A and B are shown apart, each in its own frame.
Chain A
Amino acid sequence: MLRFAAVGKTYRGGSSPAVGNVTFDVQPGEIVGLVGLNGAGKTTLLRMAAGLLLPSQGTVYVEGHDVARDKRAASRQIGWVPELPIFPPRTPLFDTLGYLAGYYAGEAGSANDRRALLTAVGLGPQERALYSTLSQGMKKRFAVATSMLGQPSNYLLDELLNGLDPEWIRWARDWMAGLRQRGAAILLSSHLLGELEGIADRYAFIHQGQLIGVVPRGAIGQHLPPRFLVRLANPNDAVLAVLAGFGEVFLDQQVIRIEGPRVPPEAVTIELNRRGYIIQEFRVEEPNLEEFFFHLIAQVRAQ
């Protein structure tokens, strides 16, 4: 379990905190998607949890261990995949993996176990390849292999899906799902919100260093109204005026979109039927993660 307790970070020379007073947790068997614009503080937050940065305030706990005070115990339970992985460039992959495994005092398994890790991320044939010769996607996959050393119970994945091809994005999705099933806590930052929507159990939204919301998947609709999509067999100009009373109306290639509806769906269909319009299709569409994120940001900016 990962817990951020009033965590803040101000860099030396920084005019404002990169991260300020962030509190949330990631439970065992849960994937939390960390969502934010560039410079929002996502990577800073992950690096503090990884023990690479010391918080200026607050505490990050990993399985109850304070990362700053009890780093060895905390790091033992952390697997980290950085956005841009960097390893010794002129060292064969297998040797680097062996070197890093040495930090786990035998808990990282045998040489065969490490070979299995490389094979799992599709780098078995490249075990003697130098890190500098790998493609961006391969480097990411190697970072994934190193994150599994010692079988930690918490994972910090910074833009894991960046640089991976579709085949390996699917693999990464399955890998995360497998970890979740085994009870791991995963904090995953990504700009690919569509991907996050498919895998995360909760979303933590961060903007300008502040946590602006933590929302479970499926609960976005409780915070943001759905939209209605209507396709009519006999549309005319008057229908837009009729529907304008129910919300903000847009016409997009024969599909009428009612944003921010002020009435339930039945009210719209009843009214359209009463006026003689033939409804070919009527859908209630929940807002997606991206829309909810921008809605949150707009709210913050308005404040």
Chain B
Amino acid sequence: MNSQDVTRALKSGSFIFWMIVIVFASLLLGWIVGGADSAERAAMPGTAATAIVAWFTTFFLLGMARGMSISSFAEDKFSGALEASLVRPVSRAGLVFGRFIGVVLGVLIAAVVAAVLVSSAYTYGHGGPAFPQLATIDLAIGLAIAGIVMTALCFLITYATASASGARWATRGINWLLFVVFAPAFSLANIPALLVANPLMLPLTLTSGAVPYSVPPGLATALLFGPLQGTRIGDPALIGIGIGWIAATVLGLLAKVRVTD
């Protein structure tokens, strides 16, 4: 594995990363510049806005995993630019894993930054440090594991499609299909059994059980904010499934790299 490939993959996610930062920073800045006091902030729909933006974090991360998987490997392969790297002193597996690690790192950084911004927005929105201290770490861990799991899935499928079909439209199509299928799944998954069965449903949950949003009761809310409630990312089973999924992906990549020409 070479740092060149890690760096190249990381750079490919910079656009979406900055989108995440800008969206959350704008939210915070809007409240601060708006000068609302704690009572006003509590009365404002700011906490709901925080919840919605936080909810969108999963989409940003999924989009980032999707976009980086395409641009870090598949697009280079289709354009031919990948060969300029592959002809250098690097093994095939080293090149693929370098880019994979780069994508994972990119999503990981975005997940941590998003977690910090979400918790900051929540804290400020509630007029004080009502947000449980450990919840930020939980949120970061939850987003990170979810992000890596999503990335692993996206990268593996994108790599496999790009290598097997050699067709840009097929690779992009499947890549987008992943996004389209999993994005609603994130918001609709409200059944713990489903969460356990599918490690992709991990994001935005707290060990403490607390949810950093003002979520009014009701069926629509339950559907909308489903993944945010009821599941603890601290559950060893869930973490185990997440790590298992990542390991399976890495093994899948290894097997694929060996037979791919």
Cα–Cα distance between A84 and B2 once the two chains are bound (Å): 26
A/B interface sample: 20 pairs, CB < 8 A: A52-B83, A54-B261, A71-B92, A72-B91, A72-B94, A73-B89, A75-B89, A75-B90, A86-B79, A86-B81, A87-B84, A88-B81, A88-B84, A100-B4, A100-B85, A103-B2, A103-B88, A103-B90, A105-B89, A150-B89
Say yes or no: is B86 at the interface (Cβ < 8 Å to chain A).
Answer: yes
Say yes or no: is B8 at the interface (Cβ < 8 Å to chain A).
Answer: yes
Q: What is the total number of residues of chain B having a CB less than 8 Å from a CB of chain A?
A: 21
Binary interface profile of A, 70-106, with partner B (CB < 8 Å = 1, else 0)? 0111011010101011111100000010011011110
Chain A contacts for B87, CB-based, 8 A: 50-52, 75, 78, 80
Chain A contacts for B85, CB-based, 8 A: 100, 103
Contact A87 B90 (CB under 8 A): no
* Neighbour of B261 across the interface among A53, A84, A102, CB < 8 A: A53
Given contacts A82-B83, A86-B80, A87-B84, contact A99 B89 (CB under 8 A): no
Chain A contacts for B91, CB-based, 8 A: 71-72
Say yes or no: is B198 at the interface (Cβ < 8 Å to chain A).
Answer: no
Say yes or no: is A146 at the interface (Cβ < 8 Å to chain B).
Answer: yes
* Neighbour of B88 across the interface among A75, A84, A87, CB < 8 A: A75
Name which of A51, A53, A76 has the most chain B CB atoms within 10 A of its CB: A51
Residues in B lying within 8 Å of A, measured CB to CB: 2-4, 7-8, 76, 79-81, 83-92, 94, 261
Shortest Cβ distance from A152 into B: residue: B89
Chain A contacts for B83, CB-based, 8 A: 52, 82, 86
Min CB–CB distance B164 → chain A (angstroms) = 9
Cα–Cα distance between A12 and B7 once the two chains are bound (Å): 33
> Which 3 pairs of residues, A with B, have the shortest CB-CB distance?
A86-B80, A103-B88, A102-B4
Chain B contacts for A102, CB-based, 8 A: 2-4
Cα–Cα distance between A86 and B83 once the two chains are bound (Å): 8
Chain B contacts for A54, CB-based, 8 A: 261
Contact B86 A51 (CB under 8 A): yes
Cα–Cα distance between A225 and B66 once the two chains are bound (Å): 64
